Amino acid sequence: MTTRPEPAPGEDTPVPIDESGRLGTSEGAEPGGDDEPRLSVAAVARRLGVAPATLRTWDRRYGLGPSDHTSGRHRRYGPADIARLEQMQRALLRGASPMEAARYARTVAAPPPQRSPEVAEQPEENGDGPVLLSGVLDGGDDIKLVSGSNTGGRGLKLTGAGPEARGLGRAALALDSWSVQRLLIEAMDSDGVVAAWQGMLQPVLRAVSERRQRSGSGVEVLQLLVDCASTALRSVIANAPAPLNPRPVVLAPVPGEAQELELVALAAALAANRVGHRLFGAALPREGLAAAVRRSAPAAVVLWADQPHYAAPRVLEDIPITRQRARAFVAGAGWSPEALPAHAELLGSLETAVARVSETVLG
């Protein structure tokens, strides 16, 4: 049997090749005593999308190394070892500290190792580690979710945030859209839309926006988080029970307003409350909004504006709200209470808005 040339330092162990040219084992793996393939540090690092130094750190600090490693031999990870590392990644993603995640990985029965995630081949930015498309940043130690001092462009300042918000922050910075959506959907299923918005999504949105202002970069993180949040919220709308109100609520941004995520959150919370609605996006022009109100004959209309430039009182005069005997509500930071006409009511927080609109249409 012949073998490949000796590898350079840091490369995987050479793969045996028999005389017919067939590989003896898979690359980076060697059979263990129980005939189970064992992977090298480099192979496991590629599989998990972390740096090899991170695996050595997890081994040294938390005891998450190969279960049968002996001094003087290369580290070789078996299936159970890899499953524990994947459990640690899941715990990190959900906001646990590295020590908590390691304790969880050691004590929880590990499932069979899953198919390795794809690693995004992207250049490092501001010193950040490699990025997973389905996972976390390198080991959880390279991302600082802090409650104190300014961290520059790398971390998120999540003052007083819970583990759910920290996990969402990790997934957002990793550009892990699947995990962002999954974490939000799980939180809304268990705690409701309003609680997930106030305790999880809103703090991370604020922290990502502040990080972008500090560093001048990270627009892709904010965009991905907003898009994923909109998808998760709309899944609540799509799976909501049948509405109880015969006349719907029309929800729309004012013409020209581009921000609409909080309005989508209001729609999702109303849908979960069995309040039927017609939600329109930011591209609806003035004449389309008027036609939507006229055709829907709604019980209430909610107009959203985040920018004062678009929150003009004349918008309320251009749509046939009063002729439909509908209650007129406005929401968003763009509205000035002093400038509103007498028939329009300004809604406050998301929780208040849900309660007020539900009371209006359901009684």
Pair 83, 113: CB distance under 8 Å: yes
Tokens encoding 146: 């802090």
CA distance 218 to 162: 23
DSSP label of 24? S
Longest dimension (CA), the chain: 90
Q: What is the mean pLDDT of the chain?
A: 76
Q: What is the pLDDT of residues 119-171, one digit of tens each?
A: 333 333 333 333 332 333 333 333 344 433 333 345 677 877 788 888 898 88
| Cα 155 to Cα 142: distance, rounded to the nearest angstrom | 9
Distance between CA atoms of 180 and 203, rounded to whole angstroms? 14
Under 8 Å between Cβ of 39 and 55? no
pLDDT band at 203 (very low <50, low <70, confident <90, very high): very high
pTM, entire model: 0.64
How far apart (Å, rounded) are the C-alpha atoms in residues 186 and 80?
27
pLDDT digit string (tens) for 240-260?
A: 999 999 999 999 999 888 889
Q: Are 248 and 298 in contact (CB under 8 A)?
A: yes
